Amino acid sequence: MPGGFKDLKVYKLAYELAMEIYHISKSFPNEEKYSLTDQTCFSISLY
């Protein structure tokens, strides 16, 4: 595979989704900053 996995459409879509979730998590309320944001970011890092 010339470009590797980063050229796969599924990888590109998953990466886009992960970045969107990271951006959305920045708008969470301060009281949720650690628990909800950490859980969200951890869950998208498992792909």
Q: Where are the domains of the chain?
A: 5-44
What sign for the dihedral angle of Cα 15, 20, 21, 26?
positive
CA-to-CA distance for 40 and 47, rounded, in angstroms?
12
Q: Are the CB atoms for 17 and 44 separated by under 8 Å?
A: yes
pLDDT-derived band at 11 (thresholds 50, 70, 90) equals very high
pTM of the model as a whole = 0.60
Q: What is the pLDDT of residues 14-37, one digit of tens each?
A: 999 889 988 887 887 777 666 776
CA-to-CA distance for 8 and 3, rounded, in angstroms?
9
Q: Are the CB atoms for 11 and 30 separated by under 8 Å?
A: no
Q: Number of H helices and number of E strands within the chain?
A: 2, 0
